Structure 1
């Protein structure tokens, strides 16, 4: 694939220095949370309202991207083949990631002999999270939103004057992109608040006994990226390492915010500049954010196994099969802002019914530290899928 002339993106100029800012914010946040816990506890609302604002801006971008992509995909050659390839790829990759998570959990046993003193764990969940959990529409709203976006795309695609509508959507997308870029200037401040709050509320000594499950999630995600995706990429003649280097700024952004969606507005320009088909990118990437969340699958699998081992619960093969199905469904609800993965875990446990949720707050205390792993894995998995499907259909979409 012959790359296009590389365009200068926002991430090339700003995010090149963001790594240093984020590292500094993490150190300062940890020190503030440890030495000044009273201040740290007061910082939760800062990051909460930031991500509320970010979600308000990113959701319209996703709606535009899905609508735009669907309206185009059904008007190009080999459209049904592309859809079939995407569905098959998503099903295989998410299934493999669930099995991988279960395997790592059973092999490394993060929930066995933890020595955790439950009395020392803050068992209360934040009020904002409880509100989202008790809202019955929260779990399904992204799927409803996706259905509306796809329906709008199909409708526009069948309309004869669709070019004017698509031009209007494109202009709207560019406007939201500019707004989001300005919001990203405050990222280091938000990271500082997040870390300070986590350390001040849960404490380093409390978090250390849970480090094994954090390590298990990270190891499984690394194995998935460099093992599973490495093999898949090599099969389709894509150099995984070079590809990751090319999107390193976006990966830093995902790490900084613990949300794969924050890199959503920038990744299109980046991959288009590398020669990947714009029409396929605009179709596969938005849908991947709902149906190809490998990191969420790994996280949910390992967290469930952790709780099974923590409570010494015996499960049958049939139970594991049922757990696999529930995780497959729950992972589709983990596409929101930071914290949505934990909501998906609540959904999984409530539907599975054999794992107590009494002490689930102990997992929430380290959710912020596992969020980076699942978000980066989600993001890399989504971008790789778009690259592969674009490569498979090179010169066949015009």
Structure 2
């Protein structure tokens, strides 16, 4: 029983359930819980850039071969392009087979105001993207800083200071993650209270199609990628289950990003690979978002009774291939990308975006989870490919009790479950 009460998975699941029940039965109160969910995400966001900076700087400064940095970066970009293209094509195929847009009433589409999304799509530029995406800026600066440190003979003191700061940053993160159930409760309560389960009924087929496709992508594509280097996807998902539940409750992959980076290191991925791949993937390896975008375009075409030719399909895939990368990391990027894609191909009415507004929030959980898992898989694959993966650490991480469980036990003054098991073995 004591172990149950120190298990973060148990508390996050309980919080998500409680939030959903509150949202369904007392929506007025549930909507007021939004600051709790967004507040937790905002606090976790404070850790993302410092952790990226410390992880990359320390990792690169300790590398003997700096050419490896460029090689890992190049492989990462190539991997992102190949896998997100597979996600894009999968979304198009499944949407064509299931046809979730057939029978949808489009008369209400023009009543919604989507001007802000189309305007943002028109105003988008790569310079704007770089200015708005702080994560990319920190990533680039950290790489340069790490290279400089590796070239300075007397940089040992600076590196020692950074390592000391890193320990305190992660200790602070562990303390914040104890309150993850509170953030998950606030996020789920607001979503159900604000939008209600009833809003899902008209577009239930689209919802089911999107979730099924993302499940298929994880169970087939990502499974085969992990199997390439004999890493068990299911054990990996169990290992990061706490982070997955936090992402589910908050509808934000950012909420689990710092913990994911730490856990990937603990399971054997080298610090430089984790530092380069995870932040870059957060902006360019959004498998879930890519699947959603491709299915949303086909859904709208079907809803408006537009039969797309093969050439039009290739045009849409080509435009999405570019636009899906452009707005990554920008708030409301899904609708911005859709607006820019529809404006570019000029086949489907942009007003159709209004049909998706009601259920977009409920699909954000699937997007966030798929993006999150996809970046973890990418890091594991690239670490293995670069021979920067410690399999002994992986087996140890997969076999031991939850690290967060130990942290909670320490903070509550209860016996550490891992220490207890060691005593029994002794």
In the other structure, the counterpart of 1:390 is 383
Distance verdict in 2 for CA 1:285–1:351, change over 3 Å:
same
* Structure 2 runs not aligned, ≥5 long: 391-426
Give the TM-score taking structure 2 as reference length.
0.75
Contact 1:73–1:280 (Cα < 8 Å) also in 2: no
- Paired position in structure 1 for 2:11: 21
Q: Taking structure 1 as reference, are residues 133 and 82 closer, same or farther at Cα in structure 2, changes over 3 Å only?
A: closer
Partners of 2:128 and 2:180 in 1: CA distance: 26
CA–CA separation in structure 2 for the residues paired with 1:296 and 1:260? 12
Answering whether residue 30 of structure 2 is matched by residue 33 of structure 1, we say: no
CA distance in 1, matches of 2:322, 2:253: 19
Q: Which has the higher mean CA deviation after the structures are superposed, 71-80 or 183-192?
A: 71-80
Does residue 150 in structure 1 map to residue 140 in structure 2? yes
Looking at structure 2, the residues matched to 195 and 43 of structure 1 have their Cα atoms a distance apart, in angstroms, of 9
Structure-1 separation of matches of 2:269 and 2:292: 30
Deviates more, 1:195-204 or 1:59-68: 59-68
Which is greater in Rg? 2
Answering whether residue 78 of structure 2 is matched by residue 88 of structure 1, we say yes
Cα-to-partner distance string for 1:194-221 (whole Å, 9 max, x where unaligned): 3333333333222222222221111111
Tell whether 2:316 aligns with 1:323: yes
Q: Look up the match of 2:220.
A: 227
- Number of residue pairs aligned between Structure 1 and Structure 2: 382
CA deviations over 1:36-83 (Å, ceiling 9, x no partner): 232233333443444334334323333444555566668446444433
2:87 matches 1:97 = yes
Which deviations, in whole Å up to 9, do the C-alpha atoms of 1:319-375 show, x marking residues without a partner?
333322332333335654885545544454455554334353442332232222222
C-alpha separation between the residues in 2 aligned to 1:182 and 1:131?
A: 41
- Are the structure 2 counterparts of residues 150 and 15 from structure 1 closer, same or farther at C-alpha, using a change threshold of 3 Å? farther
2:238 paired residue number: 245
TM-score norm. by structure 1 comes to 0.79
Residue 202 of structure 1 aligns with which residue? 195
CA distance in structure 2 between the aligned counterparts of 1:344 and 1:175, rounded to whole angstroms? 39
2:105 touches 2:303 (CA, 8 Å); kept in 1?
no
Residue pair 2:41, 2:254 contacting (<8 A) in 1 also: no
The alignment yields a C-alpha RMSD, in angstroms, of 3.8
Cα separation, 2, equivalents of 1:156 and 1:50: 30
**8 A contact 2:289–2:367 mirrored in 1:** yes
1:88 is displaced (CA, Å) by 2.2
Give, in whole Å, the separation in 1 of the partners of 2:310 and 2:64.
42
Counterpart among 45, 52, 65 of residue 55 in structure 1: 45
Structure 1 residues 75 and 150: alpha-carbon distance in aligned structure 2, compared to 1, 3 A threshold: farther
Change (3 A) 1:252 1:201: closer
SS of the equivalent of 1:213 reads helix
* CA apart distance, 1:231: 1.9
Deviations 1:290-323 (A, max 9, x none): 2222111111111222222222234343433332
Residues 390 and 17 (structure 1), Cα distance of their counterparts in 2 relative to 1, 3 Å cut: same
Match of 1:106 among 92, 96, 117: 96
Aligned to 2:252: 259
* 2:365 is equivalent to residue 375 of structure 1: no
The aligned residue for residue 277 of structure 1 is 270
Deviation at 1:181, TM superposition (A): 3.4
Asked if the contact 1:334/1:344 (under 8 Å) is kept, the reply is yes
Structure 1 gap ranges (5+): 1-12
